[in-house]
Chain A
Amino acid sequence: SQQGEEDPQALSIQEGENATMNCSYKTSINNLQWYRQNSGRGLVHLILIRSNEREKHSGRLRVTLDTSKKSSSLLITASRAADTASYFCASGGGGSNYKLTFGKGTLLTVNP
């Protein structure tokens, strides 16, 4: 079964606004990752946060992780039309646990 579940399933905002997507997972993790998928393309890795980290930044991206609630959030600040894509969280045990389990994704639409 899918471990990660994103919320909301779809999000529509105006350019310049912030977008927040949430992810929940069920079992212990080594790290949690976020990927982006443009329509008709493969997934591209955005950011990874380890289980001993609470917050991480990369450019306009901010990821938080709450292992007690088994949840993570991805914040995209000052969104642009080019940010329109599906965003997936992925969780895995890391190390010798090679499997990465993906959620169902959030479709973000940024209107110009």
Chain B
Amino acid sequence: NAGVTQTPKFQVLKTGQSMTLQCAQDMNHEYMSWYRQDPGMGLRLIHYSVGAGITDQGEVPNGYNVSRSTTEDFPLRLLSAAPSQTSVYFCASRPRTGGANVLTFGAGSRLTVL
């Protein structure tokens, strides 16, 4: 059981480039989310999804796009990277029903934008 898998682990981009951070989970979790972690800022919610075809914005959605075509995958797209998007990105998931909203996290993707 792999849990939540994020790729790539590290990425360096130039300003203006685009890329996609991949997130996949094999736990059949309906809810998936993306957070970014910056020093002194804790984790901030970017986007989340409560099921295939449904996405919504979190606290800091600007500059990021998401889609949810399958239950397993929730990619995060940066259309035109900016230095302010240098951060560590975490994908997390949980079941939609049953139990509390306890999240299972991926190992993170460290992105540097030059």
Contacts and interface: CB of A to CB of B under 8 A. Distances in A.
A45 B41 CA distance: 19
Contacts of B113: none
Q: Is chain B's binding surface mostly helix, strand, loop or mixed?
A: strand
Contacts of B106: 42
A60 interface: no
Contacts of B33: 98, 100
Nearest to B88: A40
A100 B101 contact: yes
Contacts of B50: 98
Q: Is chain A's binding surface mostly helix, strand, loop or mixed?
A: strand
A99 interface: yes
Interface in B43-71: 43-45, 48, 50, 58-59
Contacts, number: 65
B78 interface: no
Interface in A7-36: 30-31, 33, 35
Interface residues of A, number: 28
Contacts of B100: 30-31, 33, 48, 50, 94
16 contacts: A4-B42, A30-B101, A35-B103, A42-B90, A45-B102, A48-B100, A88-B43, A94-B100, A94-B101, A98-B31, A99-B58, A100-B45, A100-B101, A101-B45, A104-B40, A105-B42
